[in-house]
Structure 1
Amino acid sequence: MPIPRSLEGLTATVQTDGAAAAIRYLNDGVAHRFTGLYLLENGVMRNLLLYDKAGEIRPTYLAEVPLETSFCQFVLRDGVFTTSDSALDSRLDGHPYQGVMVSYHGVPWQTSNGEIGGTLCHFDLLPLDISDTEFALLQMAAQLLPAHLPAYPAA
């Protein structure tokens, strides 16, 4: 059973151990296999940070995802996107990853100049819910983490 996280714990983790450790901290509070932070760059969602509970090397299909085929597009359009089972979610009818990327819970993050930088999300190939507490922490993390990201090329 996942252990609930707190903003204080997340803040301490990112300040002490950096953004990658904070991604793992977030993942420890949910059942989802993956927690990732993606940068929107030239119509592509580029993975900057990824934690995988299975401990595998980042799959190439998660390294870069075209915006138009990603669930991230809905986060950027609507300000948040969450589905516990994409196979049953009529909002995704006709989407190529409906029922493939099964659960997805994402929020946007902003750059230092206030522009949308990308998304922060929990996702899995299995149907999984997220608690309101953990989703609220994900939203708070999206405000906290950008200041601690490694340098990346401008979009």
Structure 2
Amino acid sequence: MVNFTDSLRELKTILDRQELRAAVIFLNGLTPHRFTSLYRFDEDTLHNLCFFDRENPTQELTPDIPVMASYCVFVRSSRGTFTTPDSLQDDRVHGHPKW
């Protein structure tokens, strides 16, 4: 089980060293997810700042993508988190390009 306080302390230490990629890799290690990525919104485009793929750990970035082609459009519109446990059953994403 992950200890939130210890994990937060470790993340802060990594970020204090200005190691953004190491921070993304650390965060990925706390989850079962294949990908972890950090993007910057730039009007209608998402610019990838850092990327980690467990199956291809040498890949550091992905191409820029339109905001509308990503679930990040929901983050932008709500200015909050967006999660979906099953996108095929989630009415919020019905008809979205990623659906």
In structure 2, the residue matched to 1:9 is 10
Q: Which amino acid aligns with 1:40?
A: F
Question: Which residue number corresponds to residue 64 of structure 1?
Answer: 64
Q: Secondary structure at the match of 1:23?
A: helix
Q: Deviations over 1:92-136 (max 9, x none)?
A: 1111111xxxxxxxxxxxxxxxxxxxxxxxxxxxxxxxxxxxxxx
- 1:73 and 1:83 map into 2 onto residues whose CA distance is 13
Shift, 1:84, TM fit: 2.0
Q: Which of the two has greater strand per residue?
A: 1
- The CA RMSD measured in Å over matched residues stands at 1.9
Query: Match for 1:76: what amino acid?
Result: R
Where does structure 1 differ by over 4 angstroms across 4 or more consecutive aligned residues?
none
The aligned runs of 1:111-150 (5 Å cut-off) are none
Query: Any conservation in 1 of the 2:84–2:90 contact (CA below 8 Å)?
Result: yes
What stretches of structure 1 of length at least 5 have no aligned partner? 99-155
Unaligned runs of 5+ in 2: none
What SS does structure 2 have at the residue aligned with 1:63? Answer: coil
**Matched residues in 1 for 2:66 and 2:96: separation?**
13
Letter in 2 for 1:20: R
- The residue number in structure 1 matching 2:37 is 36
1:85 aligns with 2:86: yes
Structure number with greater CO (CA < 8 Å, separation at least 6) is 1
TM-score by length of 2: 0.83
Deviation at 1:9, TM superposition (A): 1.1
Q: Distance in 2 between matches of 1:47 and 1:40?
A: 9
Alpha-carbon separation, structure 2, partners of 1:25 and 1:58: 14
State the aligned residue count. 94
Give the TM-score normalised by the residue count of structure 1: 0.55
